C-alpha cells in the first residue's frame, strides 16, 4: 500500500510562519495544474502497489475547483490501482469553504478534509497573517461537520502572547464540534520566513519553552480525557479516524509526490524531491522531462529516521523490526542506548516496543536524536 500526494503551490497570501513552497502569483495556475496531470501520467509506472491514500496539500488546494479535482482523481484511477477504501484528503482553508463547494468536493470523490484553523483568536490569526478570521473558521467547521464524517482541523500552540487560558479556550472552541481528528503543531520559527525576521528584530516575542510545554501538556490531558488517542506526537484521533496518509508515511511506506517541491520515496532507500520553482517545473514538464534531485539513504539514515518517526507514534519502535530490517548490530545498539535512559524513565519497554513515557512526550524529538546511530 502506498500514498499519492499532490502539491498545489498557490496561496492567497503568505502566512508569516510558513516555509512551504508556494506562490501568491496565480498567473500560471491553470498551466501548472495541466503540468501536474502530465507528471502523473509520466510517473504512473513508478507506483505499482495499490494507492491507499491520496492527499491534496500545498499551498492551498482549496483554491482548485471541484471539477478539476474530480478530473485529477479520475486520471489517477485510470493510471494507478486504488485500494477499494482509498482515503482522499483535501486541505482546505476556512475562507474557501461554503456549502455548495463542500457538496461538490464530496461528489468529486473527496472523503476527508483537513481544515487549517490554526487559532480561533483573531489576534493570533493577524499575527500569523492568515487569510481568514475566526468567525469564518467557525462557519466552515459547522458546515464541514454536517457534510463530512471524516475530517480534521489544525491548531497551532505556543503562539506569542498566548496565555494558557486562551489556549484552553482555543481547544474548547474546536472541541465544541467534536471533530474526529485534530492535528496540533507548536509554532516553529523557520529561517527565511517573515516571522523569523520579526523575532530577530524583536517585533515579536516568543513564549518561553516552559509555557509552550504547559500548553502541550494541557492539550494532551484534555484530548485524551475526551477519548482522543494521541497516536502520533502532533496527531489526535478518535478510534477509526486516524489518518491513513500520516500512518503510511510514519511506517516508511512508499509515496509518490506530484507537483513542484513534492517529495517521493520508494519505500526502500531512494528519496527524491521535485524542483521548488513553479517556472522550472513547468518548463521541464513541457519538454516531457522531470526536474528533481534525489538522495540514496544509507542503512544508518533509514535506522535514524525509523527512530525519529517511530518514537513519535503510539506504537513506539520495535526491536524485532530493527533486528529484521537493519540487523543484529543495530538491535544491540538500540538496546544499549535505550538502557542508558531507562533509569531516567524517559523510555519504557512494552513487550519488544520501546516507547517514550507519558511525562517525557514533549521531549520526544530530542530523546530520539539521543538514540541515533552516529
Binding site for ligand SF4 (CB under 6 A): 11, 14-15, 18, 20, 22, 58-60, 93
Of 20 and 333, the one with the shorter C-beta distance to ligand SF4 is 20
Cβ closer to ligand SF4: 83 or 185? 185
Query: Cβ 178 to ligand SF4, closest distance in Å?
Result: 25
Shortest distance, position 22 Cβ to ligand SF4, whole Å? 5
Min dist. Cβ of residue 58 to ligand SF4 (A): 5
Say how far apart CA 141 and CA 151 lie, in whole Å: 10
Query: Between 52 and 91, whose beta carbon lies closer to ligand SF4?
Result: 91
Residue 21 near residue 261 (C-beta atoms within 8 A) = yes
Half-sphere exposure of 65 (CA within 13 A, CB side): 4
Q: How far apart are CB 19 and ligand SF4 at their closest, in Å?
A: 8
> How far apart, in whole angstroms, are the C-alpha atoms of residue 187 and residue 304?
24
Alpha-carbon torsion, ordered 231, 166, 141, 86, to 10 deg: -20
330 grid coordinates: 543495530
CA 21/CA 56 separation, integer angstroms:
14
Q: Give 170 or 304: the residue with its C-beta nearer to ligand SF4.
A: 170
Q: How far is the CB of 195 from ligand SF4 (least distance, A)?
A: 11
Comparison of 102 and 115: residue with beta carbon closer to ligand SF4: 115
Asked if residue 363 lies in contact with residue 347, where contact means CB atoms within 8 angstroms, the answer is no
**Cα–Cα distance for residue pair 212/185, rounded to 1 Å:** 11
Amino acid at each position: 500500500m502506498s500514498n499519492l500526494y499532490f502539491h498545489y503551490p498557490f496561496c492567497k497570501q503568505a502566512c508569516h510562519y510558513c516555509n512551504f513552497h508556494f506562490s501568491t502569483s496565480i498567473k500560471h495556475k491553470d498551466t501548472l495544474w495541466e503540468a501536474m496531470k502530465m507528471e502523473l501520467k509520466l510517473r504512473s509506472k513508478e507506483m505499482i502497489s495499490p494507492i491507499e491514500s491520496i492527499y491534496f496539500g500545498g499551498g492551498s488546494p482549496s483554491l482548485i475547483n471541484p471539477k478539476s479535482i474530480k478530473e485529477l482523481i479520475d486520471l489517477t484511477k485510470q493510471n494507478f490501482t486504488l485500494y477499494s477504501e482509498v482515503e482522499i484528503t483535501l486541505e482546505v482553508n476556512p475562507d474557501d469553504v461554503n456549502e455548495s463547494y463542500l457538496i461538490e468536493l464530496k461528489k468529486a470523490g473527496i472523503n476527508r478534509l483537513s481544515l487549517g484553523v490554526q487559532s480561533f483568536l483573531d489576534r493570533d490569526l493577524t499575527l500569523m497573517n492568515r487569510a481568514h478570521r475566526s468567525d469564518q473558521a467557525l462557519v466552515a467547521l459547522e458546515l464541514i461537520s454536517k457534510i463530512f464524517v471524516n475530517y480534521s482541523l489544525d491548531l497551532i500552540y505556543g503562539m506569542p502572547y498566548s496565555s494558557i487560558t486562551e489556549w484552553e479556550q482555543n481547544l474548547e472552541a474546536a472541541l465544541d464540534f467534536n471533530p474526529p481528528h485534530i492535528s496540533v503543531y507548536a509554532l516553529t520559527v523557520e529561517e527565511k520566513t517573515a516571522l523569523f525576521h520579526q523575532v530577530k528584530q524583536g517585533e515579536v516575542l516568543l513564549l518561553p519553552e516552559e509555557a509552550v510545554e504547559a500548553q502541550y501538556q494541557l492539550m494532551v490531558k484534555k484530548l485524551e480525557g475526551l477519548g482522543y488517542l494521541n497516536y502520533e506526537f502532533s496527531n489526535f484521533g478518535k478510534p477509526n479516524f486516524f489518518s491513513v496518509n500520516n500512518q503510511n508515511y510514519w511506517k516508511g511506506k512508499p509515496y509518490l509526490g506530484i507537483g513542484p517541491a513534492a517529495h517521493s520515496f520508494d519505500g526502500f532507500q531512494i528519496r527524491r524531491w521535485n524542483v521548488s520553482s513553479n517556472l522550472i517545473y513547468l518548463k521541464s514538464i513541457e519538454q516531457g522531462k522531470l526536474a528533481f534531485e534525489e538522495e540514496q539513504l544509507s542503512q544508518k539514515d533509514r535506522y535514524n529516521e525509523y527512530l525519529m518517526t517511530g518514537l513519535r507514534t503510539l506504537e513506539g519502535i520495535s526491536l524485532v523490526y530493527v533486528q529484521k530490517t537493519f540487523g543484529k548490530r543495530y538491535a544491540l545498539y538500540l538496546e544499549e542506548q535505550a538502557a542508558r535512559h531507562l533509569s531516567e524513565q524517559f523510555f519504557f519497554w512494552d513487550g519488544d516496543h520501546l516507547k517514550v513515557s507519558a511525562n517525557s512526550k514533549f521531549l520526544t524529538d530530542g530523546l530520539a536524536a539521543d538514540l541515533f546511530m552516529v
